[in-house]
Amino acid sequence: MATDRASSSDAVGDPPWLEPLLADPAEGGPLSLDAAGAHAGERLSARRVDGVLRFVESDSYAQSFGREWNWFAQTQLDRPDENRTESRQTFAEKTGLEPADLAGKTVLDVGCGMGRFSEVVLSAGANVVGVDLSAAVDAAHGNLGDRPNAAFIQADVFDLPLREESFDLIYSIGVLHHTPDTREAFLRLPRLLKPGGRIVIWVYTSERPVGYVASDLYRRFTSRMDEERLLRLCKAAGPIGALYRTRAGRVLSPLLPVSHHPDPEWRVLDTFDWYAPRYQWKHDWAEVERWFRTAGLEEIRRHRVPVAVSGRRPLDSPVAD
């Protein structure tokens, strides 16, 4: 099992296309970095640590994710040469986007984690800014920071150091429901789209309430546990998840929900990912579509996995605050 912190890439500095995309929300305009890659602004200050620009002092409530993605820095990373393509398939199902839609685009990955979906979009030929509140960004930087079309920064979706109207595409997969307020986090994003740009999010569905009864109860304890202790418990998901993959075992799974993924390491990761986070909201289609309408987005579409929704910023109208 991958339990070491991901090593940072040696690359120092950011690709030249990143700086024009940065802005201090209080000042507007470009955000200038000094030679050491630091910025002291009215609202945001930045410093570079281990090759990554950081606009927050700590992981805050997202610490468990920082641990998780550095422990499991490569478990979900595709290796098409080894026929590992699950992240590509999941990205297509949750966004409705194919590689041809991505080439040459400027893309924001909100809550990039260790970069499993950034890798898909980078490989399709887009420039990707991956943002994460937690030390997960170190895992992403270690995995992908040497690609000239990648830039990873540690920042909070509620206070992003990014210029308005900068991105052709914004996606956020499995992130916004882990913030204190999913809707408010979402509403920070459309203004960063260029006119005509698209945004797509996937958040947990509230439409499987039976399956959540037991885990909601256990989460009252597990989300407060020391992460290493919880990881030790989650290692039981290896054998238990294998049992649940049999017909007889499946009937037991509502009592002790753990991941059923075919890969045992992935099961441990997914189970930790379910039980550790402080916030874990669930939503339905109508609610999420309402947020898109509130933001003034058009061409609102549902994608294959509940609840994955996309919309487009109109070419000619401002985005509602």
Ligand X SMILES: C[S@@+](CC[C@H](N)C(=O)[O-])C[C@H]1O[C@@H](n2cnc3c(N)ncnc32)[C@H](O)[C@@H]1O
Binding site for ligand X (CB under 6 A): 62, 65, 69, 111-113, 116-117, 131-134, 136, 156-158, 173-175, 178-179, 273
- DSSP reduced 3-state for 81: helix
Tell me how far, at minimum, the Cβ of 280 lies from ligand X, in Å: 9
Q: Kindly tell me which of 126 and 136 has the beta carbon lying closer to ligand X.
A: 136
Q: Kindly tell me which of 116 and 147 has the beta carbon lying closer to ligand X.
A: 116
What does the alpha-carbon distance between residue 129 and residue 137 come to, in Å, rounded to a whole number?
11
Q: Kindly tell me which of 112 and 295 has the beta carbon lying closer to ligand X.
A: 112
Which segments within the chain are labelled E, that is strand?
A: 39-40, 45-49, 52-54, 106-110, 127-132, 150-154, 167-173, 193-202, 298-302, 308-312
Q: Kindly tell me which of 28 and 180 has the beta carbon lying closer to ligand X.
A: 180
Positive or negative, the CA dihedral 158, 160, 163, 167 is negative
Q: Kindly tell me which of 93 and 298 has the beta carbon lying closer to ligand X.
A: 93
Tell me how far, at minimum, the Cβ of 252 lies from ligand X, in Å: 26
Which residue matches tokens 């294959």? 304
Positive or negative, the CA dihedral 63, 280, 161, 4 is positive
Tell me how far, at minimum, the Cβ of 248 lies from ligand X, in Å: 31
What does the alpha-carbon distance between residue 310 and residue 298 come to, in Å, rounded to a whole number?
9
Tell me how far, at minimum, the Cβ of 178 lies from ligand X, in Å: 5
Query: Beta-carbon neighbour count of residue 208 at 10 Å?
Result: 10
**Strand arrangement, sheet containing 298-302:** 39-40, 45-49, 52-54, 150-154, 127-132, 106-110, 167-173, 193-202, 308-312, 298-302
Tell me how far, at minimum, the Cβ of 314 lies from ligand X, in Å: 26
Tell me how far, at minimum, the Cβ of 146 lies from ligand X, in Å: 20
Q: Kindly tell me which of 215 and 243 has the beta carbon lying closer to ligand X.
A: 215
